[in-house]
Amino acid sequence: MRVRLSKSFSFEAAHWLPTFPEGHKCRRLHGHSFHVDVVAEGPVSEETGYLMDFGEIKKAIAPIEDALDHRCLNEIDGLENPTAEHLSRWIWDRIAEEIPCLFEIRVQETCTSECVYRGEALSERLCSA
């Protein structure tokens, strides 16, 4: 059996988007209540009955949540242009080794705006049955 599971976390942060045109509202400093889903996919172990412990995902994302919560994202190394696209890849890059079956990162900055990132070489990462 193959499954896809997700663990969510959220954080509050401010940012501005320096590549947006002058006068655009996103070029000004503003904040969001970000919601992030970390999604893993792979086969369910016959021995354990699960793909992975949700606690393993929680442990992997805890330092990410701490690094982002109540911060100005532009001041974090690697997030000088903190678009949802860059943020999703930034998170992926920091947890991919700890979550071998990582399938996607979903970053939602508003209730109607979301970015889904699946890595650069997803087919090489998927756990095999």
Residue 70 annotated in active site: yes
The 3-state DSSP class for residue 19 equals coil
Q: Which residues of the chain have pLDDT under 50?
A: 123, 129
pTM of the entire predicted model: 0.92
Instruction: Name the catalytic one among 26, 72, 115, 127.
Output: 26
Q: What is the pLDDT of residue 45?
A: 94
Tens-digit pLDDT profile for residues 57-67:
999 999 999 99
Instruction: Name the catalytic one among 86, 101, 104, 109.
Output: 109
CB 40 within 8 A of CB 55: no
CATH of 2-113, one of 3.40.50.2300, 3.40.50.720, 3.40.1160.10, 3.30.479.10: 3.30.479.10
In which order are the strands placed within the sheet that holds 30-43?
Answer: 71-72, 2-15, 30-43, 102-110, 113-117
Residue 111 annotated in active site: no
Residue 26 annotated in active site: yes
* Domain ranges for the chain: 2-113
Instruction: Name the catalytic one among 24, 70, 75, 80.
Output: 70
Rounded Cα distance between 86 and 84, Å, is 6
